[in-house]
A and B are shown apart, each in its own frame.
Chain A
């Protein structure tokens, strides 16, 4: 069951990679695969048991899979140290402001839409 779902996921990722080389060089294969799988699920109308199982098992370990790319920080320690405060300052400040702003904006828009729906 798990293997069958995993095969589907790998299949869509590979399909994405092929399309990436052929048609869409600016989009990475996995993102194209994500969109394709979404379209496929939409056409089929439901998520099969094997796919559901494989997807939730993989997603549970998403943080683990992100550790190796994060370790890449060590390779660029010198470049970052040279511009340390400019980089860290702007990363931290822009992140805090952006999270607050986006969350606030979305909440406001949702509230507004809810009001519009209740008083047509």
Chain B
């Protein structure tokens, strides 16, 4: 009796649940690795991403097929973003006490985070299209994709830069902050949220609830400010 191994293999890797399966498995593996070693380079998002890409390449599955099969997971990103309102609300009193520091940090820091990236890329000789896709790198990806599109960049490329920035921020952020002597959880949270959006916020939640709340605050303020101001600014300059 001969079994149809090739057919079974094709049915397995093209099943609508295959993408979810490898994502869940990769995430749990990398989470276990991170918890065992506590090594900063083993950020769960980064390691899972690499594992999933390896599996997809090995099975010859392209990104659109993977994206379609994990739709059930990504659709939850919306309600999860909304859920950030809960830690924000629970820390509202502390946030109100720090109103002026937050406002000044958001304006000065947001401009610095956005401007520095483009300035450096321009100095290093990046193309116009690249620069426009780099501009919203510190903003949460749905906003970044919208903004890049409006100012003449590529939305998907912007999403990639956003993810790279977020993962880098989660890896290096807390260490950089410790080196600079930033001890206040609010200051750590704001720095992670403004520069590294959702990935930075999920890293900040690991540091503590107050840190996470300020990261969520920094992320949403930065998102709203960029969404409104960047297209306006670009329209004025160009």
List residues of chain A with CB under 8 Å of any chain B CB: 6, 9-10, 12-13, 16, 26-31, 33-35, 37-38, 41-42, 47, 51-52, 54-56, 58-59, 61-76, 79-80, 83, 85-107, 109-110, 113
Contact = CB atoms under 8 A, between A and B. Distances in A.
A12 B82 contact: yes
A106 B76 contact: no
A95 B83 contact: no
Contacts of B108: 105
Given A68-B66, A68-B74, A106-B186, A93 B82 contact: no
A72 B180 contact: no
Contacts of B86: 37, 41, 47, 51-52, 55-56, 59
Interface of B: 19, 23-24, 26-27, 31, 44-46, 48-49, 52-53, 56-57, 62-64, 66-67, 70, 73-74, 76-90, 92, 98, 100-102, 104-105, 108-109, 112-113, 116-121, 123-127, 130, 134, 137-138, 140-143, 146-147, 150, 154, 156-157, 159-161, 163-169, 172-173, 176-177, 179-184, 186-188, 190-192, 194-196, 198-199, 201-202, 205, 220, 223-224, 227-228, 231
* Interface of B, helix, strand, loop or mixed by DSSP: helix
**A-B CB proximity, top 8 nearest:** A109-B101, A90-B120, A86-B124, A30-B81, A103-B182, A103-B191, A106-B187, A102-B109
Contacts of A35: 85, 220, 224
Given A70-B45, A86-B125, A95 B172 contact: yes
A101 B53 contact: no
